[in-house]
Amino acid sequence: MKMIKNLFFSTFFFTGIIVISIVFLPAFFLPQKVVLIGGKLMGYWSSFCLKFFLSTKIVIKGLENIIRDEKFFIASSHQSMFETFYLQTIFNSPVFILKKELLSIPIFGWYLRKIGCVSIKRDKTTKDNLGFFDDISKIISNSRRPLIIFPQGTRVMPDERPSFKKGASRIYEELKIKCQPVAINSGYVWPKKGLKHSNKTITISILEPIKSGFSKEEFIKLLENNIYSELNSLIN
């Protein structure tokens, strides 16, 4: 039964993502805000498939903590594909920081460019990476969309607690704006490897903002502690 549920979920989920992508292909020639609607639809579609095929309950905590009427960036835990889709429905079409290789994928890569994603070559110092902070500073200055980063660097299993990458603290230091921490235990339902699990709960915890002004070292320690403390309380 578990295998059948996984098969139905994967078939309908990816078919839906492909259909949405095809429907929005003409939008590549329209303003960016039209394409961003497609991203939100993908987020709603992912939650529908989880609820319908895997009987997943999705709980959002801390909506009152969302920063409003000022610039901020989001730092979220990363356990599955779920958050890359669903966070677009909670926040105002966030700008993702992602590895440069994703931009080379046909159609998907075009979509990422169109919605203004910022690319970086991980663990490398390149000419492109040197201009990275200039790029994100311009985005923050000229847009109301928040930046989003996954400080763990990649998807991790729900029981893993790797140290956060230094990139998050450098962004915090460079931008001098508040950080919105988010803890998501999606790996208990949709792990990065293996079968998906049914009849479980995904909790999205929007934590209290971290104000600007801390040192890089203080910030990353506080961010890591806050997110991991919350994840430890959400063990499924």
pLDDT of residue 114: 72
* Domain-located, residue 195: yes
Q: What are phi and psi of 120, to 5 degrees?
A: -150, 145
* Domain CATH for 113: 3.40.1130.10
- Give the pLDDT confidence score for residue 67 in this predicted structure: 94
Closest C-alpha among 52, 73, 28, 86 to residue 173: 73
The per-residue pLDDT for 151 is: 93
Has residue 23 been placed in a domain? no
Residue 155 falls within a domain, yes or no? Answer: yes
Query: 64: number of CA atoms within 13 Å, CB side?
Result: 0
Q: What is the pLDDT along the chain (236 residues), one digit of tens a residue?
A: 888 999 999 999 999 988 988 888 776 677 777 878 888 999 999 999 999 999 999 999 999 999 998 899 999 999 999 998 999 999 988 888 877 777 777 766 777 777 777 776 655 544 455 566 777 777 777 778 899 999 998 899 999 999 999 889 988 998 899 999 999 999 999 999 889 999 999 999 999 999 999 999 999 999 999 999 999 998 76
Collapsed DSSP state (helix, strand, coil) of residue 109: helix
Token output for 52: 């319908």
> Given the structure tokens 């660097």, which residue do they identify?
153
**Could you tell me the CA-to-CA distances from 158 to 12, 25, 30, 195 in Å, in that order?**
25, 35, 39, 14
Going 74 to 39 to 92 to 112, the CA torsion angle's sign is positive
Dihedral sign (CA 211, 217, 223, 229): negative
Confirm whether pTM is higher than 0.95.
Answer: no
Nearest Cα residue to 151 out of 224, 54, 55, 89: 224
Domain assignment of residue 5, yes or no: no
Instruction: State residue 107's pLDDT score.
Output: 66
- What's the pLDDT score for residue 184? 97
Residue 32 falls inside a structural domain: no
Tell me if 13 is assigned to some domain: no
Count of domains for the chain = 1
Helix (H) or strand (E) holding 72: strand 72-76
At residue 14, what is the residue type?
F
The answer to whether residue 81 sits within a structural domain is yes
Distances (CA, A) of 113 to 22, 89, 108: 16, 19, 9
Q: What is the per-residue pLDDT for 236?
A: 64
Q: Tell me which residue range forms the domain holding 161.
A: 57-233
Question: Does some domain include residue 141?
Answer: yes
